Amino acid sequence: MKPEYVAVVGVGILGASVGWNLSRRGVKVVFIDAGQPGEGVTNWSFSWANASNKTVRKSYFDLNVAGMEAHRELAQTIGPDSWWYPSGHLRWADDPAAERQLLKTAELLASWNYQVEVCTGGEVRRRLEPALTVPDDIPVVFYPDEAWVHGRNLVSRLVEHAVASGAEHRFGTTVREIAIGADKSIQSVALSDGSCLNVNIVVNAAGPNAADVAGLVSRQLPMRREPGVVTRIDCAQVPVRRAMHTPHVEIRPDGDSSVVLHSREIDALIDAGEDPSELARLLHESARHVVPGLSGGRIAQTRVANRPIPADGFPSVGAVPSVPGYYEAVSHSGITLGPVIGRLLASEILSGKRDEMLADFHPERFAP
């Protein structure tokens, strides 16, 4: 189907990437989002571009490696300033079993030609992060090609470029209805602001709300429920330069005056009914043990957000043949995968051909 007018529903990193890739190739695009670009899950994730945490399936690892390369290419195309921070990533453990698994994974990644360095804690403090309290002799894995991304800034940049190429936007409104013709193809979308757009293609990049959008075309998209809490700490001087997974808390810079904190251990307390402010305090306390320089920091913002994860944990990307003109771009690890999924899905929309890299991640695997 020729893409005459494409509605991209959800303007996080995935939606922005798809829309930018289409608009720069001359396609008429309209971005639709209930909020503002990049201010949903994209702004409330750990925003770590990596493939080291994606070893469960080789095709998924390969897709994430391609995602990292797509980020580097994107930085050359639109400029890296304010969003791209390729400073590497550190990881260590504090119990023997976790440490063995960490080193085993590092060995596997090295066999897949992924860049890995195993250092001691002392070396890390001397060479990379002097503000850490990591013990001298503990093994620390350093992944030099990994990065952190300022997601909101990247999305804003992509939307700006897309608009300069002719894209439109409808922010602060939601899709209320997707009209299907007699041939089962997309005809239009009706928005909650009362307007109607005669589009012939819809890209569902709605993140945690993707199942609701899928339901508008009578499709069942099973999603996991995995809420996560992220806290931003304001500090006069950011004491770390790169993203890191410490034994109990994840820490990364977030510009010149704040850091972002996340922890799977703290996430486990969300359903126990803990107040978000208490979760933020626990995150800050854990981070201070690793980086004492954060002691003087102030908890600035905290958000509990649902991660956009299809039921089997892998992306759902591509056309749904039963509804001509309907495509999905739904995935966890959107920060890593956004640029590559944006490029590959735009090509699929334009050519009608799915890239082999997406073969394991087609939406049809979720049968009705």
Residue 350 lies in a domain: yes
pLDDT value of residue 252: 98
Per the CB < 8 A criterion, the answer to whether 118 and 106 are in contact is yes
Residue 77 lies in a domain: no
Q: What is the CATH number of the domain that holds 203?
A: 3.50.50.60
Q: What is the CATH number of the domain that holds 236?
A: 3.30.9.10
Q: Do 317 and 216 reside in the same domain of the chain? A: yes
Q: Do 252 and 360 reside in the same domain of the chain? A: no
Residue 73 lies in a domain: no
Per the CB < 8 A criterion, the answer to whether 316 and 328 are in contact is yes
Give the structural domain span for 179: 6-46+151-224+311-365
CA dihedral 182, 185, 191, 197 (to 10 degrees): -100
Residue 61 lies in a domain: no
Indicate the pTM of the whole model: 0.96
pLDDT value of residue 367: 80
H/E stretch holding 7: strand 6-9
**Identity of the amino acid at 87:** S
pLDDT value of residue 272: 77
pLDDT for 53-92, tens place per residue? 999 999 999 999 999 999 999 999 999 999 999 999 999 9
> How many domains does the structure of the chain reveal?
2
Q: Do 132 and 247 reside in the same domain of the chain? A: yes
**Identity of the amino acid at 62:** D
pLDDT for 98-152, tens place per residue? 999 999 999 999 999 999 999 999 999 999 999 999 999 999 999 999 999 999 9
Q: Do 319 and 299 reside in the same domain of the chain? A: no
Which structure tokens are listed for 132? 């850490």
Residue 17 lies in a domain: yes
Residue 174 lies in a domain: yes
pLDDT value of residue 1: 73
Q: Do 284 and 335 reside in the same domain of the chain? A: no
Q: Do 333 and 300 reside in the same domain of the chain? A: no
Hunting for tokens 């201070």 — which residue is that?
A: 288
Average pLDDT, 10 consecutive residues per value, the chain (368 residues): 92 98 98 97 96 98 98 97 97 97 98 98 98 97 98 98 98 98 95 97 98 97 96 96 98 96 96 89 98 96 96 97 96 97 98 97 91
Q: Do 203 and 326 reside in the same domain of the chain? A: yes
pLDDT value of residue 81: 92
